[in-house]
Amino acid sequence: MDTGLFRELARTVAALAEVQGLRSFALPYPGLAQRALDRTVLHCLDIGETPPKSLPELWEWCRARPSDDPLFAVPASLLAPGTTLVHPVGRMPTRSCLELASYGPDGGVAAHAGALLADLEARCGTGERYRRCRRFLARHPVVHQQDRFGPGWSKAVWSQVKDLYGPLPESLLVDGVFLRCPVCGLPALPRERDQPVSGPPATEDGLWCEGEECPRDDAPELIRDPEQAWILRSPLRMFLALPHRTEEAAREALDRAGIGHEALPAPLCAYRLTDTGPSTGSDTVDIQVYDRLQPALLAAHLTDGAMPADRILVVVPQALAGRDGYRETFVDSLPAPLRDRLVLTTPADLVPDLGQVRGEKENDA
């Protein structure tokens, strides 16, 4: 099993997708891509497989060959069978690709998102200013020039965050029009690039968005003058903007229950209950929010990092937690000592699960 090769390809795909228009497909290839291609060729020769002849062909392999293909043989205990690195419709990195590209001690793409936020926090100077900027980023993965004339626009916030945005890449345009998912606000593309972008809502099979899991009740929003829009950098779109709805739902659940909490600087979406910790004579309890498709990789991420609290409630969307095997895979992927300290939950179950955690502590006392 060559899981390392599949992870290297994931990081290559993630890096190449950051290059506007994928111009890196032209020779000479970037060093990262050339090394991944060379390693894939050598692996194919070792196992008697016809190797890819070029980087574009390798990109198509990442689009068509899943993790459980005999070429990669990634175990189902790490990635769900059928996982590809490039989305067959979007032709961009899948969410699973970016999650795998974040797997490992250095944190990869997710760590890059955290570093961008850490730099922003340092530049903001005050906690309140940083929280306003972070909230803006989470709510605005795409910004149009007209937004600057709308209610609630802050020149001060925009001046702090604008360097985290860039022009809309040509690879995300259809006939000069940019499509935005009405649910997650992230980029969208139709299955057929030449199909009309107006008209009735696209079906689930006919439209791709970076969120991948969004319902298709409404038609995509259109930005017909994409030169007047800016898009948030990919790591922040995936690891800050995407889980934002779940984060907001978790905070609202705590507020309704009157449970005090304060934001933590790291990881990306984390809070500490204010009535816990040494000063209160109780264990510290943190809330961390994620929107990750691969539960084993989520467990690995939490295992690799230092445990900042005695207990952590890991909040994920209900749609993910309710999938067959998601909870079981998450728990099974944790080291035994952490299984009692990490509790997988959802915004709806957060307060009841928190009450159960506290009840267990009282019973132990």
- What pLDDT is attached to residue 194? 45
Read off φ and ψ for residue 161, nearest 5 degrees: -110, -10
User: Is 35 within 8 Å of 119 (Cβ atoms)?
Assistant: no
202: pLDDT strictly greater than 60: no
Please state, rounded to an integer, the average pLDDT across all residues of the chain.
89
**CA triple 26-98-49, angle to 5 deg:** 60
- What pLDDT is attached to residue 198? 39
When pLDDT is averaged across residues 262-266 and rounded to a whole number, the result is 84
Q: pLDDT band for 117, please (50, 70, 90 cuts).
A: very high
Percent of the chain with pLDDT over 70: 91
- What pLDDT is attached to residue 207? 82
Kindly state the tokens that stand for 191: 């299955």
- What pLDDT is attached to residue 152? 82
**26 vs 244, which has greater pLDDT?**
244
User: Is 239 within 8 Å of 231 (Cβ atoms)?
Assistant: no
When pLDDT is averaged across residues 351-360 and rounded to a whole number, the result is 87
Q: pLDDT band for 29, please (50, 70, 90 cuts).
A: confident
| Contacts (Cβ under 8 Å, ≥6 apart) of 317 | 213, 245, 246, 291, 346, 347
Of 209, 121, 245, 229, nearest to 165 by C-alpha is 229
26: pLDDT strictly greater than 70: no
Buried (b) or exposed (e) across 148-160, using 16+ Cβ within 10 A? eeeeeeeeebbeb
Residue recorded with tokens 């934001």 = 263
User: Is 199 within 8 Å of 193 (Cβ atoms)?
Assistant: no
**CA triple 31-36-62, angle to 5 deg:** 125
**Which H or E run includes 225?**
none
User: Is 208 within 8 Å of 191 (Cβ atoms)?
Assistant: yes
> Torsion angle of alpha carbons 261, 121, 152, 197, nearest 10°?
-100
CA atoms of 185 and 223, how far apart (whole Å): 12
User: Is 246 within 8 Å of 273 (Cβ atoms)?
Assistant: no
CA atoms of 326 and 333, how far apart (whole Å): 11
